[in-house]
Amino acid sequence: MQFWVVLLAGLTGGALLGRWYFLRRTDWRIKLLSYRLNRIAGRKNPVKISSLMKGIYRCVHDCMRQNNQTAAYQAIDLLKLALGERLGRGNESMRLMALAVAALRTKQPDIAGYVLDAYTPLVRGLNDKDRIAVIEQLTLIAMVALKARYNFMLAKVVNKIFAILEQMDKAEEPPIISAGLRGLKSVGMMAVRRKDEALFREISLRIGNLNYYDEETAKEVIGVLNEWLHRIIKNENQVMFDIVLQFCWQYMDKDHVSNQICELLVYEWQNLSGMAALNPNSQMAAEMIEFLFSLAEKRSNEQLWTLIIAIAAKTARLAFAQHGINVGFVTMYPLLDHGRRLLAAELKFHQISNDGLRQKVLFLIIRECVTLAALIARKDMTSSTGEVLAQLYQKWVSYPEMRGTLKSVKKFCQILILYWMKNRQRQSRRSLSGHCDIVEPSLLSDSEKERLGLS
C-alpha cells in the first residue's frame, strides 16, 4: 500500500514538474495556445474563450518581462487571430490599451506598436459606443507615447483613428466622427508641441480629405483648426502655420461648402488674426487676411465680403495701435492690394454686370482705408488724414512684396485721396500741398471719376 502511495505521489510530482517545465518554455506555450485557438474557433464557449484569452495576454506579459521580443510578436499574432475570429470579450479594447501602455512603460515601443495592430480586427465587430471608446483609448496611448518620447507611435495612432473614420457612413455616424476629430485634435496638438511637421501635415491633409461638410461636423472641424492655429501663432511656427492654411483651403475650396460654414471660419479668425497682429515680427496676421480675401473672391457673397473687410480693418487698426504705421503697414497691405485690384477690374470691366457687387466691395475697402488713415492721424496729432494717406503710398511703393505696377498703386491712392477730399475739401487741399507725388499727375480721367461718383 505504501508503495502505491509513493508511486502516485511521484507520478503527480513528475507531472507537475513536467507541466512547470513545459510552461516555462515560451515556444511550447505558444504552440499550446495556438492548438487551443484552432480547436475553439467557431465554438462559442464563453468559459473556454475567457481561459484562452487570459492565457494569451499572460504569455505576452511574460514575454515582455523576459524581453523576448520574437515570442511576444508570436503571441500578439495569436491575439490578432483570436480577435479576427470574434473571440473578444467585453472591454477587450481596454485590455489591449493596458497591454500597449505596459509595453511603453517597460521601454518596448516596438511591441506596443504591434499591439496597436490588434485593434484592426477588434474594431470590425464593435458597436458604435465601443468604437468611440476605442478612439479615446488610442488617444490615451498616444499621450503615454508622447510622454515617453516615442513619436512614431503617434503616427500609428493617427492611422488607426483614420481607419475607423474612413469605414463609417458619414451621414449616419456623427458621434464616431466627433470622437475621431477630438482624438485627431489631441494628437495634432501633440505634434505641434513636439514640432513634428511631417505628422502634423499628414493629419491636416487627411482630415481635409474626409469630406465632412454638414454644419455640425464642419463646426467641429473648424474648432480643431482654430485650436491648432492658436497654439501655432503663439509658438510662431511659420511652417505649421502654412500647413494649416493649406488644410483650410483644401477644406473650404469646395462648392458644397455653405456660406454659413465660411462665415463661421471668418468669425473665428477675427480674434486669431488680432492675436497674430500683436507680434511685430510676424506676418501671420497679413497671411490670414489674405486667405480670407481669397475665400471672399471665390464666394462672391456680399455679406461675406462685408464681414471680411471689417475684420481686415479691425486687425490693421490693432496693428497700427500697437506698432505704428511703419510696422503695422504689413497688416494693412492685403486690404490695400485687394482695393487696387478691384479698382483695376472695375475700370476695365465696368460694362460687364455683376449686380454691382464689385463696386460695392471696392467702396467698402476705400471707406475702411480712409477711416484707418483718419485714426492714425488722430493718434499722431501732428498729421492730417491726407498726409497719412501720402505716407501709406510711400510705404506701399517701397514694400518689398508689392504686387502690381506703380501706376496701379498710385491710381488707387488717388482714389483714396478723392474719396477723402469729397468730404473734407478745404482741409485736404491745405494738407496735401507738400505731397504732389501722390496727386500729380492724375491717372484718373474725368469719365472714370464720374463713373465712380468722385468727380
For residue range 185-220, what is the model confidence (pLDDT) as tens digits? 999 999 998 888 988 998 988 888 777 767 788 888
Q: pLDDT higher for 299 or 332?
A: 332
Is the pLDDT score of 370 beyond 90? yes
What pLDDT is recorded for position 381? 74
Burial of 295 (0-12, 13-18, 19+ CB in 10 A): buried
What pLDDT is recorded for position 22? 47
pLDDT tens per residue across span 385-417: 888 888 899 999 999 989 988 899 999 998 998
pLDDT tens per residue across span 216-233: 888 888 889 999 999 999
What pLDDT is recorded for position 352? 57
> Is-contact 292 312, C-beta < 8 A?
yes
Radius of gyration of the chain (CA): 33
Is the pLDDT score of 17 beyond 50? no
**Mean pLDDT across the stretch 243-258?**
83
CA distance 273 to 318: 10
Q: How confident is the model at residue 90 (pLDDT cuts 50, 70, 90)?
A: confident
Q: How confident is the model at residue 21 (pLDDT cuts 50, 70, 90)?
A: very low
> Is-contact 85 41, C-beta < 8 A?
yes
Q: Which stretches of 46-172 are assigned E, i.e. beta strand? A: none
Share of the chain above pLDDT 70, in %: 88
In which region does residue 68 sit, left (phi positive, over 0), alpha (psi from -120 to 50) or beta (all else)?
Answer: beta
- Give the three-state DSSP class for 434: coil
Place of cell 506598436: 113
Burial of 406 (0-12, 13-18, 19+ CB in 10 A): exposed
Q: Taking Cα atoms as reference points, which of 376, 314, 385, 308 lies closest to residue 339?
A: 308
> Is-contact 74 97, C-beta < 8 A?
no
Query: What per-residue string of b and e applies to 236-252 under the rule 16 or more CB within 10 Å gives b?
Result: ebeebbebbbebbeebb
CA distance 181 to 214: 14
What pLDDT is recorded for position 12? 61
Is the pLDDT score of 362 beyond 90? yes
- Neighbouring C-alpha atoms within 13 Å toward the C-beta of 321: 11
Residues 6+ apart with CB under 8 A from 27: 71
- In Å, how far from its chain's centre is CA 338? 27
Is the pLDDT score of 43 beyond 80? no
> Is-contact 312 266, C-beta < 8 A?
no
> Is-contact 238 285, C-beta < 8 A?
no
Residues 6+ apart with CB under 8 A from 222: 261, 264, 265, 268
> Is-contact 288 248, C-beta < 8 A?
no
CA distance 358 to 341: 10
441: preceding bond cis by omega (within 30 degrees)? yes
**Mean pLDDT across the stretch 177-185?**
90
What pLDDT is recorded for position 13? 52
Q: If you write DSSP's letter for every residue of 168-198 in order, what string do you get?
A: S-TTT-HHHHHHHHHHHHHHHHHHHHHT-HH
Q: Which long-range contacts (CB under 8 A, 24 or more apart) does 173-176 make?
A: 173/128, 174/214, 174/216, 174/217, 175/128, 175/132, 176/128, 176/131, 176/132, 176/135
CA distance 165 to 184: 11
What are the cell numbers at 186?
A: 489631441
What pLDDT is recorded for position 319? 93
Query: What per-residue string of b and e applies to 125-153 under the rule 16 or more CB within 10 Å gives b?
Result: ebeeebbbbbbebbbebbebbbeeebbeb
Q: Taking Cα atoms as reference points, which of 141, 43, 39 lies closest to residue 100?
A: 141
Place of cell 459606443: 129
Q: How confident is the model at residue 11 (pLDDT cuts 50, 70, 90)?
A: low
Q: How many CB atoms lie within 10 A of CB 5?
A: 9
What pLDDT is recorded for position 69? 86
Q: pLDDT higher for 432 or 15?
A: 432
Q: Taking Cα atoms as reference points, which of 245, 254, 263, 331 lies closest to residue 301?
A: 263
Share of the chain above pLDDT 90, in %: 28
Q: What share of the chain is helix, strand, coil (3-state, %, to 5)?
A: 80, 0, 20
